[in-house]
Structure 1
């Protein structure tokens, strides 16, 4: 796999509020945080652009609501912000896609001449998948290291329930099989970017 010298790492919603297990339920992939941290480190060491995305929930009971402790980035993300040699951007949003945030992510990427993005973060099947799909629709070369994402069990219609692992696999198949993104591992991305 080839990783462009100016490929942007888009770190989606790695916020403290997602640590509230009582609210979200069981999660998958306990290694996600270590993998996300490793990718941020490689991006910062190589001077590539990093985009930190924060979900500012407008829902009163959400652990991610604006002004709450849970709205802040997890410590390992916060301590890395501003430490790289490359460009950095903070995008805030209240919907699933980082492309519908502020400032305009698409405009920032295009102005910087970025054609490839690596999307990581939380939740695999929600904001990560939506951002990756939209990135694909906008003609970016989108890479999703699946093991640098995680999600939670979800109940749906008709009494259906899917585990976090089932949802992650469904996202991987949809993104990769549907041509929205290449779904890979963190190691593959690190090896290509180093």
Structure 2
């Protein structure tokens, strides 16, 4: 990508998408499906680096969480997606469970915002994310987390539609297969993202920013 503009702290935010134990921790319900790709890209180390870099640079940090599931949540719904049907069966991110807690290295600080939970894939749809970004004068969003071809991709696309400058940090994002990663970073994201960077590339960019 060519649009690697300076990232100033007064207009840049880091979005951590679904940093739950169920996705990111050994013993999480979805970790066995994510483990190969997550370990292959060095997901957790790169997420830690991105979070530390954002904090040191003075960027706003937003947690963008999936809905925490209760057994009766979808009983009266007309149109569950296939993913929501699996959530019903597995009780992924079950409310009050360890799996629905933040990964221990990715806890938000007191001044970092936790956005209203999204029910499907977009961190913007039916949440306060757009409102909160605008209230904090954010124009550029950096996305990391899970899962590349669902919540990350959909949130990033929606953000671009709303006028944000969108950067994906490709080795701080993972999915359930290498094919999903290829679909996201080689086919889909180049059509909407303003920048696709590795963690090291992003750290170099901000180090060079006056």
Q: 1:139, 1:128 → 2: CA distance?
A: 17
Gap runs ≥5 in structure 2: 70-86
Q: TM-score, normalised by structure 2?
A: 0.76
Q: 1:98, 1:151 → 2: CA distance?
A: 17
| Matched positions, count | 177
Quote the residue 1:3 is aligned against.
7
Q: 2:46, 2:18 → 1: CA distance?
A: 15
Quote the residue 1:70 is aligned against.
99
- Listed one character per residue, the Cα deviations across residues 94-120 of structure 1 (whole Å, up to 9, x for unaligned) are 221111254x11111112211100000
- Listed one character per residue, the Cα deviations across residues 109-168 of structure 1 (whole Å, up to 9, x for unaligned) are 11221110000001111111111111111111100011001111xxxxxxxxxxx11111
Going from structure 1 to structure 2, the CA distance change for 1:107 and 1:9 (only over 3 Å counts) comes to same
Range with greater deviation from structure 2 (52-61 or 25-34)? 52-61
Residue 48 of structure 1 is aligned with which of 59, 63, 69? 59
Q: 1:29, 1:22 → 2: CA distance?
A: 14
Gap runs ≥5 in structure 1: 153-163
Quote the residue 2:153 is aligned against.
129
What's the C-alpha RMSD, in Å, of the aligned pairs? 2.0
Q: 2:99, 2:29 → 1: CA distance?
A: 13
Residue 82 of structure 1 is aligned with which of 84, 109, 112? 109
Range with greater deviation from structure 2 (58-67 or 127-136)? 58-67
Contact 1:119 1:132 in 2 (8 A): yes
Residue 38 of structure 1 is aligned with which of 37, 40, 49? 49
Q: Does residue 120 of structure 2 align to residue 95 of structure 1?
A: yes
